[in-house]
Amino acid sequence: MNIGEAAEASGVSAKMIRHYEGRGLLPAARRTESGYRQYEPGEVHTLRFIRHARDLGFSLTEIAELVGLWQDRRRPSRQVKALAEAHVRQLEQKASELLAMKAALEHLVHDCHGDDRPDCPILVGLADPGVARPVAGRAASRPAVRRG
């Protein structure tokens, strides 16, 4: 199948297929005499694998390792598990950071009246990062902000 068909079948855009080839996640495609890329069902299966790994937030480096492990039928599953566990820890850290940002922003939103007055604690907080900076999983203590 051509790149457009492979893209449709795998859920990966043609641009990303070319990118994955360039990064070595997918072997270089066979070419027709006129230079068009051609893909086999196995390569589309690999593209789906890559897409699922990306959907779970794995980096391209991690995906390269996962593809290698997936293709190595003699791999020990402990290597796959260790990679996945490390990724879970990274996701937990990101989730904690996102919750801290959310809490800081919610605090600023709460302090803003959202009326016709020009004073806005949200803008004050954005201008002074110490006012609403997330710290270690929680919003930082804030100096008094003039409510407006």
Task: Give pTM, 2 decimals.
Answer: 0.76
**Rounded-to-integer distance, Cα 10 and Cα 48, Å:** 5
Last residue of a domain, one of 53, 75, 97: 75
pLDDT at 132 (0 to 100): 59
- The Cα diameter of the chain in Å comes to 71
- Is pLDDT of 141 > 60? no
Q: 91, 55 in Cβ contact below 8 A? A: no
Name the residue range of residue 71's domain: 3-75
Do 38 and 60 have their domain in common? yes
Do 70 and 110 lie in one domain? The reply is: no
Torsion of CA 58, 61, 62, 63, to 10 degrees: 80
Examine residue 82 and state whether it is found in any structural domain, yes or no: no
13 with 57, same domain? yes
Which of the residue ranges 18-22, 48-52, 112-116, 134-138 would you say has the lowest mean pLDDT?
134-138
